[in-house]
Amino acid sequence: MDFLHIPTRPSWALQLESDRDKILLDHTHWEKESARWCLSLLLAYCDNESLSLAMTKMVNQKLSQFQEMRELLKSQAIIFTRQQPIGYDKRLKEIIVKKEPDRVVDRLLVSALQEARSYERFAFMANCLAEETLAGHYQKLVKSDPENYSTFIDLATHYRAEAYVFSRLDELAVYESELINTGGAKPRLHS
């Protein structure tokens, strides 16, 4: 995860404290959208057996985590509602090149960045949330989820040389760090 260019800003802890429910709701939506993205990768590149197997596993994992988050929201008396995205996901995906095989590489590396940032935020939440139930939930996620970002990077090396993959990952990480550094006006998992 050392490819992330900047860590979570300490000010995000203030968002977490003041808008915890919105961030938990956003995390729930994030799991759903992440499952959808993994499914789109599976459908687009199902000829790659390694990718197909990994995405099948991740889709199931993400959907399971989505349901777990729905239950967590209920236990916190948070109503699951639609939520306006802040653009982190969309803006990252806008820089994906259009021509293959670089397109699949970018899609996988953007996924790696998003997973790594999520993992970093989960660890942050596990340490910052005062309520034991919530902190325990995020501690569990940190223990069960650390390999997803490396899976995406490994899959990218099936399409391009490792040197290219890590060079491109660094380029994309620069852009991702700008998005995180500017943050978002609305409290979100990736704001």
Please give the Cα distance from 102 to 85 (Å, whole number): 27
Q: What is the pLDDT of residue 182?
A: 81
Q: What is the pLDDT of residue 71?
A: 97
Asked if residue 189 belongs to a domain, the reply is no
Asked if residue 2 belongs to a domain, the reply is no
Q: What is the pLDDT of residue 88?
A: 87
Q: What is the pLDDT of residue 1?
A: 59
- CB-based burial label for 152 (10 Å; 0-12, 13-18, 19+): buried
Length of the chain measured in residues: 191
Helices 20-44, 11-18: crossing angle, 10 deg rounding = 110
Please give the Cα distance from 180 to 190 (Å, whole number): 7
Mean pLDDT, the chain cut into blocks of 10 residues (191 residues total)? 84 87 95 97 97 97 96 96 86 95 98 94 92 93 82 97 98 94 78 73
CA 32 to chain CA mean position, Å: 11
Q: What is the CATH number of the domain that holds 22?
A: 1.20.1260.10
Asked if residue 4 belongs to a domain, the reply is no
Q: Which amino acid is at 66?
A: F
The domain total for the chain is 1
Q: What is the pLDDT of residue 146?
A: 63
Domain of 21? 11-182
Q: What is the pLDDT of residue 13?
A: 83
Q: What is the pLDDT of residue 144?
A: 79
Asked if residue 49 belongs to a domain, the reply is yes
- pTM of the entire structure? 0.94
159: DSSP letter: T
Asked if residue 6 belongs to a domain, the reply is no
